[in-house]
Amino acid sequence: MLILVRHGRTALNATGRLQGRLDEPLDDLGHLQAKAVAERVGPVDDLVASPLIRAQQTADAFGVPYLVDDRWIELSYGEYEGMPVGEVPSEV
């Protein structure tokens, strides 16, 4: 079975900003979310994370070794990274 888990919250998520490939760490709530999802999912056979710190911090919560794979990196929003979602032009 394949289970996909989104990383925990970051300060940018909390303020409604696009992150894309900005390498933001988890905030305090994000660490709690990562721990909760690891407990909910339970033991895993294999674990893969993107190269971004927030994904690796989420993987760390599982307490097992994991593979960092660049193919799982988040989408790039280019010039819109860090911008509030509501300010991104609708034609994008």
Q: Which of 74, 79, 87, 91 is catalytic?
A: 74
Cβ–Cβ under 8 Å, residues 22 and 53: no
- Eight-class DSSP state of 12: H
Contacts of 88 (CB under 8 A, 6+ apart): 18, 77, 80
Using DSSP's 3-state secondary structure scheme, residue 79 falls into helix
Which residue type occupies 19?
Q
- Is 31 a residue of the active site? no
- Is 74 a residue of the active site? yes
Catalytic residues: 7, 74
